[in-house]
Amino acid sequence: MAADDETAGFASPACLAHEVDPGYMGLPQPGGLTLAAWRKAERERLIALRLAMPQAERQAASEAIAERLAARIGPFAGRTVSFYWPFRGEPDLRPLAERVWAEGGTALLPVVVAKAAPLLFRAWRSGEPLEKGVWNIPVPAEGDAREPDVVIAPVVGYDSACYRLGYGGGFFDRTLAAPGGRATAIGVGYGLQRIATIRPQPYDIPMSAVVTEAETLTPARVVG
Ligand SMILES: Nc1nc2c(c(=O)[nH]1)N(C=O)[C@@H](CNc1ccc(C(=O)N[C@@H](CCC(=O)O)C(=O)O)cc1)CN2
Ligand SMILES: Nc1ncnc2c1ncn2[C@@H]1O[C@H](COP(=O)(O)OP(=O)(O)OP(=O)(O)O)[C@@H](O)[C@H]1O
């Protein structure tokens, strides 16, 4: 009854461990997998699903995503928007990066400086030199570090609360959590990458929106 529900003067229990996914502490999950093993298996499954999409479908979806993104972010003039060099079947948004330049904005690409460190961003426009960075990802060969106003983050998986599952490096989470960071993060992916929950952890930062070919999802509601 009510008396049993009383917290006896405490605003919250002394230990919040029960609110954290047991996998975060390395404990086994109900399904028998640790959080890390579950995420690894989900990543492999979702990347395979994405790669199985026919190229023409990925292309059409990329164009639809670009349109939704432009509507969500624009106008671009005077703003810095970070993109990414697509791999493993990620949506190709490079034409949108060109549009950002054409409309007076600045497109950036992320650079992995070191594992377990925040990303750095450099301006890049089609035709400018790239070099191979960590994991052979092409990155701008030169240029000062720039601060993005908007970070477009490709998802491996996402859920209805706009949490993003990435490749497991924690790069975007660290970048968004870095002191002085003020970027708006928008996740992008295909609808087939949606899962019931990414099993968010204390370090996971929700995206302000996730844009797919079919919808623009925000943590509170679907806006279009
Ligand atoms: N296109 C694109 N560029 C991007 C990102 C992205 O998600 N997409 N990133 C978003 O963060 C950063 C790179 N993040 C990455 C993180 C892990 C791996 C990777 O291949 N990891 C190995 C495992 C490494 C390990 O366990 O230490 C693997 O998956 O085999 C690649 C890129 C910056 N650039
Ligand atoms: N702000 C942070 N500070 C320190 N460690 C962090 C932070 N964010 C994430 N991590 C660490 O990074 C690791 C990977 O995180 P996670 O599984 O969320 O990666 P991801 O978001 O899928 O990867 P990515 O962003 O590279 O695509 C976690 O083990 C976590 O401990």
Note the pLDDT tens digit of each residue in 31-88.
Answer: 778 999 999 999 999 999 999 999 999 999 999 999 999 999 989 999 999 999 999 9
Spell out the domain ranges in the chain. Answer: 5-223
Fold for 5-223, please state it.
Rossmann fold (3.40.50)
Residue nearest to atom 7 of ligand 1 (CA): 154
Edge to edge, the sheet with strand 216-217 lists 120-123, 106-111, 80-82, 150-154, 184-188, 209-211, 216-217
Do residues 31 and 153 make contact, with C-beta atoms less than 8 angstroms apart?
no
Structure tokens at 159: 């859920």
Q: Which atom of ligand 2 is nearest to the CA of 43?
A: 22
> What is the identity of the amino acid at 1?
M
* CA–CA dist 159, 222 (Å, integer): 12
* Ligand 2 pocket member 168 (CB < 6 A): yes
Q: Is the ipTM of this complex over 0.85?
A: yes
* pLDDT one-digit tens code per residue, 99-144: 999 999 999 999 999 999 999 999 999 999 999 998 899 999 999 9
CA-based nearest residue to 41, from 134, 156, 153, 135: 156
Nearest bound ligand to the CA of residue 177: 2
> For atom 14 of ligand 2, which residue has the closest CA?
170
What amino acid occupies position 131?
Answer: E
Distance from the alpha carbon of residue 159 to the mean position of ligand 2, in angstroms: 17
Q: Closest ligand 2 atom, CA of 173?
A: 8
The pLDDT tens digits of the residues spanning 105-115 come to 999 999 999 99
Cα angle 80, 84, 86 (rounded to 5 degrees) comes to 155
